[in-house]
Structure 1
């Protein structure tokens, strides 16, 4: 099967391309500046920016499935004058247009938990609007809504570290917002299954890991894996929101009001759909296990 992965040299994309190649598929990784260092032999790269239709259109010729992974991080302010709407919504519109122009029958879309055109953050709103584009496309589609994904090359752990200081740390939303982290090597086989098996067509899957953790929990696990302890002092969200809003316009500050709002709601599944892929939570890797083996 010929599979095009947009965002194919990013965190999820690199792991997915390796999974698909190992299953015997012909894989093309599309990216603005593709770096094939993390890709296995045999994976082809293509240059293209999903916000520029003309730059990506040719890569869709002869493909059987496209997996759309291109995304901006919800954890940091968008850089370089771009926006969540432009990348997630506009990019998805271009991906759908190119797929239809070249007769690609199937699209697997990575969305986000809580995706909603009327949601509380620009990221969530853009993801929700993009989902509607996919559902209205006339293509065979599968939509994934994962919680935060961790693993080699991921940013969730480094993001948490960037918020903390050794020994004693003040932490916004330390005990409020909850996450359900899933290991990248548990997640990508599910994406690959959706590529291969048309039984998943027309489904929206909420995917999370085996445990629900607060940001404070995650911080303590990171330090414990290094044999250290840390005291977490929760910062009231009203104060954190004020601080991030005031500092947001400064170009060197990576957080803004949208990031503060994202810490006000949970990033957990209403019903973990991993069972649709023959997986149970007891088989999944916990964040603590990953950290103990990799930190």
Structure 2
């Protein structure tokens, strides 16, 4: 199959391109700067920005399927003038439009747990709006809603370290927000299965890892792996909100108001759908195993 991967040079995209290439597909990685990526020789490269339709339209010619991975981070404030609306919503609109105009038959859409057009954060709202764009299209669609994804080059562990300095770490609400982190090496084969298997068409999957961890537990594991044990100091959510509103204007500070709001609700699956891919929790890599620390 001829497959276009938008965001094909990113944390997940580069690995998915490799996986699809290994499975014998003709893969093209679409990104704003694809030449810098370490992609296999068999993977073609296309330059474009999903928020600008004319820049991506030609990349869809002669393709059969598209995997739309382009997204802003839910963990860090957007940079460079990009917005959740321009990337998630309008970017998806452009991807669907180009796919339909060039006769593609399938789209796999990377969404997010809790995606909801009426959600509490811009990230969640625009992810929900983008899902409607996909499901209203003429394409055979599959939507994958993962919890946070971790692995080499990923943001989740590094973000947690930024929030939790060594020794004493003040965390909003004591770091009680729950996550269900999944290793990138586990989710990528599932995305590839969605491209190949007709049984996944028309399905929306919530995907998480084998364990549910609070932000405080993640912080302690990440710091222990770095050789810097940490004690979490609870900061009331209301007080944290005031502090983050001020600190969010400081250049380089990782969080703003939207990221603070995201810590007020859990990022876990209602029913982990990994069974649809023939996987069980025992097959998946835990964050502790990845970091090489005891639970």
TM-score normalised according to structure 2 size: 0.97
Alignment check: 8 A CA contact 1:57 1:98 kept:
yes
Find the counterpart in structure 2 of residue 245 from structure 1. Answer: 245
Note the C-alpha offset of 1:175. Answer: 3.4
Q: Distance in 1 between matches of 2:93 and 2:222?
A: 39
Find the counterpart in structure 2 of residue 14 from structure 1. Answer: 14
Please give the residue correspondences for 1:130-145 in structure 2 after superposition, counting only pairs within 5 Å: 130-145=130-145
Find the counterpart in structure 1 of residue 212 from structure 2. Answer: 212
Please give the residue correspondences for 1:161-240 in structure 2 after superposition, counting only pairs within 5 Å: 161-240=161-240
Note the C-alpha offset of 1:80. Answer: 1.4
Q: Distance in 1 between matches of 2:11 and 2:35?
A: 12
Note the C-alpha offset of 1:172. Answer: 2.1
Q: Secondary structure at the match of 1:87?
A: helix
Find the counterpart in structure 1 of residue 117 from structure 2. Answer: 117
Alignment check: 8 A CA contact 2:206 2:269 kept:
yes
Query: 1:162/1:83 Cα in 2 relative to 1: closer, same or farther (>3 Å)?
Result: same
Question: Where does the alignment leave 5 or more consecutive residues of structure 1 unmatched?
Answer: none
1:38-73: per-residue Cα shift (whole Å, max 9, x none)? 212211110000000000000001111100000000
TM-score normalised according to structure 1 size: 0.97
Q: CA RMSD, aligned part only?
A: 1.2
Find the counterpart in structure 2 of residue 64 from structure 1. Answer: 64
Q: Distance in 2 between matches of 1:250 and 1:196?
A: 45
Q: Secondary structure at the match of 1:38?
A: coil
Alignment check: 8 A CA contact 1:173 1:215 kept:
no
Question: Where does the alignment leave 5 or more consecutive residues of structure 2 unmatched?
Answer: none
Note the C-alpha offset of 1:77. Answer: 1.1
Q: Distance in 1 between matches of 2:60 and 2:229?
A: 50
Q: How many residue pairs align between the two structures?
A: 293
1:159-196: per-residue Cα shift (whole Å, max 9, x none)? 00111111121122443210000000000000000000
Alignment check: 8 A CA contact 1:67 1:109 kept:
yes
1:27-47: per-residue Cα shift (whole Å, max 9, x none)? 100001114532122111100
Q: Are residue 38 (structure 1) and residue 38 (structure 2) matched?
A: yes
Query: 1:292/1:252 Cα in 2 relative to 1: closer, same or farther (>3 Å)?
Result: closer
Note the C-alpha offset of 1:96. Answer: 0.3
Find the counterpart in structure 2 of residue 80 from structure 1. Answer: 80
Q: Distance in 2 between matches of 1:80 and 1:26?
A: 32
Alignment check: 8 A CA contact 1:174 1:214 kept:
no
